[in-house]
Structure formats: C-alpha cells, structure tokens
Structure 1
Amino acid sequence: MNKIFTILLCLSMICVSQSCDNDEIGEYTPLPKLHLGETFKYQCIPENYVQLAYDTLGKVAVLNFYKEEITDLDYINYDEHTCTFSFHKGETAKYKISWDYQSETNSIRFIYSQNGMWYRMNNSKNEYILEANDGMAIRAVAYRASYDLLNVTVYRFRIEEYEEK
C-alpha cells in the first residue's frame, strides 16, 4: 500500500511540475532598436514588458535606441539589454533632456532613476533639466496598449550638457 501511495504521490508531483512549466513567463526580451524619425510598429509579447516598481499604471515596454542618435557624450553609457542610458562623468552635472514623439496608441514617458527609484520627466515643454550624478539613468517607456501593439514615431530624444545662460 505504501508503494502505491508513493508512486501516486510521485506521479502527481511530476504532473504539477510540468503544468507549472507551461505557465511560466519567459525572460525579459528588449524591443528591437528604433531610429529617430521613423515610425516604429511592433507587436509586443509578454516578455517585452517590465513593471516599474513605483508605478501602478501597468507594465511598460522600454524603447530601444541607437546611442549615437541620442547623445554624443562619451561618458554616457548605453545598456542594450535594459535600454538605459547611464551617466559616468565623475561629477554632478546638469543635462538637457529633450524629446518629441507621436503615438496614437501608446502613452510614452521619459524617466530617470535615482537611488533605485524611477521618476517621470514629462512636462508641457518636452524638455527637462536633470542634475545627474554618476550612476543615474534615463530611458523612455511605452505603457501597454490594447492588442499589445506599439506604434510610435520618436522625432527627437536628445541628451546634452546644459549650460545656464
């Protein structure tokens, strides 16, 4: 009787473990890179989304850019897996972050991180003056839209040193 119970227990554990494998979500997958000025249409999959820790509005897809189109500052690094620009100048400095985009289906936000938290930069002027320390980061995100279709044209996204007048 104990052998039959043990065999049934093992079989049920195998069935449960296999059903869990089918439900697992895969690893994060960055979006393909987009060029400034070109319309970017992409059908997102669940692996394209991340949840921002501070945000209750839902999951976002992080837009993926070509660094040379966004900045020519050599002390700004670009991580192609997280699609994040990070500052490594060695001192605190001010930067002008500017953007212009059009999207009928997605809400786009330009955000920066400080001490592990993400903050929105969006304002009515489509630019933001950021005082950045080493390790701070910037990225652009698109909130999940119906049908998971990402449809956006980013005309400008620029990171440059800011000099007060």
Structure 2
Amino acid sequence: MNRLQKLNAFDTRAFYWFNGYGRSTPVLTSSRWISRMGDGSLYLLLGLALALWEAEDGRAFLQAGLIAYAIELPLYLVLKNTIRRDRPCHRYAGFQAAIEPSDKFSFPSGHAAAAFVFATLLAEFYPSIAPLGFALATLVGGSRVMLGVHYPTDILAGALLGMLTAGLGIGLWEVL
C-alpha cells in the first residue's frame, strides 16, 4: 500500500469515527447551524458591519477581506474541479449525509477555506478575538465532517487554503 492509499484509508477511518458522533440529534442539529454560519453571507455582513462601526480598522478589514476572498474563491473552484474527489456521501453505498451538498466534489472544503480566511483576517486586524475566530472556523470545518459531506483532509486542505489566501490578500492590501 503506497502513502496515498494509506492516507486515504486513514482519512476514511477518521471520517467514519467523527461521523459516528455526528448522528446524535443534538450534535446533528448544532452541526447544521454551525455549517450554515460558514455559508459565506455572514462573513460579508460582519465585514460591512465592522467597516461601518470601526471606520479605519473596519474598512481595512473589509478591503483586505474582499481581496482575500477574490483570490480564495476561484482558486478553491479550480482545485475542487481539477482534483474531483467524490464526497463521502456519494462514494459509499448505504451512507446518507445529513444535508444535501451544494456540489459533487469534496476537496478542498470551501466552507473551511472561507472560515479560515475570516479567522486569519481577524487575527491580523483584531488579534484579541483571533482565538474565537479560529475556534469558530474549526467548528465550521468539523461540522462538515459530522454532516457527512467532507473527509477530515478536505477540511485541513480548506483551512490551509484559507489561511494562505488570507495572508496573500492582506499582503496585497498592504501594498495597494
């Protein structure tokens, strides 16, 4: 068994382990709510609110965020449609996801990428609430595994993509 096969086997075992906990009603209900927080519109609303209430820092946060998301979203779509990894709910006969995914492929997780863009932006502009931002981003990613639409490595890849594109967005914002 080569390294990629070993990683895939580990990822599948981890998926089933995490997903086993996601089948209880309280976990399933909270996972749905947490996942919805990561749908994207909340990030824009919070960015706009910060821009209105925190004139200088809020505008900087919003501008850097718009640049970061303008990089993250197309890159995420290219990766997802190039790699074309089937979602676990589409791969395993008899397995039913708790939600209907928005598309066919799972790698990387767009919810995790967007959540970690936002958390990284918070860390740069509002460092005192960075732990909360990263905790929420982790919960968003974890909820996607619990709901049966992502593997753990999808979440890790999304988190890495989000942090890297946020860093790039912040860097570009600083030079503009």
Q: How would you bin the TM-score normalised by the shorter chain?
A: under 0.3
User: Comparing both structures, which one devotes a greater share of its residues to helix?
Assistant: 2
User: Comparing both structures, which one devotes a greater share of its residues to strand?
Assistant: 1
TM-score by length of 1: 0.23
Q: Give the greater-gyration-radius structure (CA).
A: 1
TM-score by length of 2: 0.22
